[in-house]
Every structure is written in structure tokens, then in C-alpha cells.
A and B are shown apart, each in its own frame.
Chain A
Amino acid sequence: DQQVKQNSPSLSVQEGRISILNCDYTNSMFDYFLWYKKYPAEGPTFLISISSIKDKNEDGRFTVFLNKSAKHLSLHIVPSQPGDSAVYFCAASAEGAQKLVFGQGTRLTINP
């Protein structure tokens, strides 16, 4: 049972444009959501998070939007840069637990 889903395995975006990565979840107990970026042969790097009491969180070029009624979150990267090319994972946790449930990841490629 995939509780966190990233339905797009890959995404290709032109440099300078906006990248939008999507994530859906099914467990209504999830109350904290995170995005991680991963390069090959490295561990995931934390990017940005959002609590369920908010619907938007912004950090520089990265913005995460949460739509609780739709059980959907998205990560916007503006403007996209070549260094953003990586696999992006969304993750969720419930009630302060350190058990993160990850999506399958989306491979983002930024084209010059």
C-alpha cells in the first residue's frame, strides 16, 4: 500500500523556468511533509518542509504547497538551475514520529 505517491517518474524542464513536482498521500494522519533531493551515491539532502497547519512554505527558490483536502503537495523551484537536476523525494510523517514514509521519487532534469 503506497501511502505516498509521486506519479511522475521523471520531469524535464528548461533552465530558468519553473519546475513543479507533485506528490499525493492517502493517510490522513500525516501532519508533516518534507522534500528531499538526492544525487547518485549520496544520501538524500533535506530541502524544505511544511506542517499541516500551513498551506505554503517558502525558502529561497523553493516553495512547497499543501492542499489538505486533496491530500496533495507540490514543490515549486523557480528559477530552475542545472544543479537542480537530481531525484526528488517527498516524505510524510504522522504525529511527530520519526518514521518517514517516502514516495518513489521524481527524476528532475534541467536542460540548458
Chain B
Amino acid sequence: KAGVTQTPRYLIKTRGQQVTLSCSPISGHRSVSWYQQTPGQGLQFLFEYFSETQRNKGNFPGRFSGRQFSNSRSEMNVSTLELGDSALYLCASSAQGLAGINEQFFGPGTRLTVL
């Protein structure tokens, strides 16, 4: 079974631009979560989508948004990029939706650099 895939793997943008990152979950997984990893803040939860609906949200500004499609693929968008948005963005999928399954499986991440 193929793992979680994320595209692109690396991205360089300038301040003020916007960016869209893509995630394809493991086949059959309906929950997709996004995390931001930075040296200072560690791994922080952005949001989670399940069946095309945002089910959980972390403490990030409205510039960070996401969506999920009917095939469970997900995108996240960051508008008006700031230098502090430079980070590794990780997507994770889970079969959660069945009772008691909470393990999330992560993709390799997209390294975003904002200049």
C-alpha cells in the first residue's frame, strides 16, 4: 500500500505571495491532518479534515486554510506569506472514523522557504 505523498517537496516563495500544498493520503484513509514543524515551535497542529469537512482546527491565523476533496486528497493554502511561515509542512492520514484508531501516518513533508 502506498504511503502518504506530498507535493511539492520543496518550495521557495517571497513575502506576500500565496502557496498551495497538496497531500494524497493512504488509500482508504478518510482523515487528513496538517502540521507545521519549525525549530522554535516544534510540531504544531494546523487542522484536520474528514469527509471533506474541517473537523479540528489549531491556533493558526486565518491565512492558513485547507480543503479536502471527495477522494480524500487534501490541499492547504497559505496566503500573504510571512518570513515566519518558513517551515516543514507535514500531512498525516488516518483511518480514524472507525472506533479507536488514532494512529496517524505522515508524509515526507513540504519544505517551504519564504524569502
**Dominant SS among interface residues on chain B:** strand
Complex: chain A residue closest to B49, CB-CB: A98
Within the complex, what minimum Cβ distance (angstroms) separates A32 from chain B? 5
**Are the C-beta atoms of B107 and A98 separated by less than 8 Å?**
no
Which chain A residues in 90-112 approach chain B with CB under 8 Å? 91, 93, 96-105
Across chains A and B, which 7 residue pairs bring their CB atoms closest together, nearest first? A43-B106, A102-B43, A98-B48, A99-B56, A44-B106, A104-B42, A99-B45
Q: Within A25-68, which residues are at the interface with B (CB < 8 Å)?
A: 32, 34, 36, 41-46, 49, 51
Interface size class of A (residues with CB under 8 A): 20 to 34
Distance, CA A51 to CA B4, complexed state (A): 24
Partner of A46, one of B56, B104, B109, B111: B104
Q: Does A88 contact B (CB under 8 A)?
A: no
Q: What total of A-B pairs shows CB separation below 8 Å?
A: 66
In the complex, the answer to whether A98 meets B108 with C-beta atoms within 8 Å is: no
| Chain B 72-95 interface 0/1 with A at a Cβ cutoff of 8 Å (1 = within) | 000000000000000000101010
Residue from B33, B99, B103, B111 within 8 A of A34 (CB atoms)? B103
Complex contact B56–A49 (CB within 8 A)? no
Q: Is the CB of A98 within 8 A of B94?
A: yes
Contact indicator B102/A98 (Cβ below 8 Å): yes
Bound-state CA distance A49–B44 (Å) is 19
Known: A99-B58, A102-B42, A105-B42. A43 touches B102 (CB 8 A): no
